Amino acid sequence: MKRQRFFIGILVALLSMTLTAGLSQAQAPPPEGEVQPEGEVGIAAVGAYIPVQGRLTDASGNPLNGTFNNVSLRIYETGSGGSILCQVTPPSLQVSNGLFSTSIPCSSSVVNGQQLYLGVQVGTDTEMSPRQPIYPVPYAFSLKPGANIIDNSSGTLLVVQNNGSGRGVYGYSLSGEGVRGWSEAGSGVHGHSTTGVSLMASGTGVIKSTADTDWNVSPLNIVPGDASGDGDLKIVHSTQFGWVALYSAGADDCTALLPVDVGAYLFGTRVKFSEFHFCYSMADTDLDDKITQVDVEYVRTNGTNQSLCSFTTDVSSTTWTCQTCTAASPVDIYGPLFARFTLHFVGDTSNDRIRLGHMFVRLVE
pLDDT tens-digit profile of 192-223? 777 777 777 776 667 777 788 999 999 999 99
In this prediction, residue 220 carries a pLDDT of 94
Q: 150 or 20, which is more confident?
A: 150
What mean pLDDT, rounded, does the chain reach?
81
Contacts of 29 (CB under 8 A, 6+ apart): none
What CA–CA distance (Å, rounded) separates 125 from 79? 18
Three-state SS at 136: coil
pLDDT band at 294, cuts 50/70/90?
very high
Question: What element of type H or E holds 3?
Answer: helix 2-25
Do 264 and 304 touch, CB atoms closer than 8 A? no
Range picked from 16-25, 57-66, 235-244 for highest mean pLDDT: 235-244
Q: Which residues of 96-135 are buried (b: 16+ CB within 10 A; e: fewer)?
A: eebbbebbbebeeeebeeeebbbbbbbeeeeebeebbebe
Does 190 score more than 70 pLDDT? yes
Which residue, among 306, 295, 364, has the nearest Cα to 335 in the 3D structure? Answer: 306
Does 33 score more than 80 pLDDT? no
Range picked from 21-30, 43-52, 74-83 for highest mean pLDDT: 74-83
In this prediction, residue 234 carries a pLDDT of 95
What CA–CA distance (Å, rounded) separates 84 from 70? 17
Does 45 score more than 70 pLDDT? no
Question: For residue 81, which phi and psi values (nearest 5 degrees)?
Answer: 65, -155
In this prediction, residue 178 carries a pLDDT of 80
Would you give the DSSP letter of residue 315? B
- What's the pLDDT tens digit per position in 107-123? 878 887 788 999 888 78
Q: Picking from 12-26, 253-267, 350-364, which range would have the lowest pLDDT averaged per residue?
A: 12-26
**Side by side, which strands form the sheet with 290-299?**
223-224, 253-260, 337-344, 290-299, 305-311
Q: What angle do CA 182, 184, 210 make, to 5 degrees?
A: 55
Q: 241 or 38, which is more confident?
A: 241
Q: 21 or 319, which is more confident?
A: 319
Rounded (10°) CA dihedral 175, 116, 87, 54: 150
Q: What is the mean pLDDT of residues 277-286?
A: 88
Question: What element of type H or E holds 9?
Answer: helix 2-25
What CA–CA distance (Å, rounded) separates 214 from 275? 9
Q: What is the mean pLDDT of residues 169-193?
A: 79
pLDDT above 70 covers a percentage of the chain that reads 84
pLDDT band at 50, cuts 50/70/90?
confident
What CA–CA distance (Å, rounded) separates 115 from 220? 65
What CA–CA distance (Å, rounded) separates 311 from 290? 13
Q: Going from the N-terminus, what domains does the chain have, and what CATH number goes with each?
A: 2-26+46-143 (2.60.40), 213-364 (2.60.120.260)
pLDDT above 90 covers a percentage of the chain that reads 38
Q: What is the mean pLDDT of residues 245-254?
A: 93
Q: What is the mean pLDDT of residues 8-33?
A: 36
Beta bridge partners, 256, equal: 224, 341
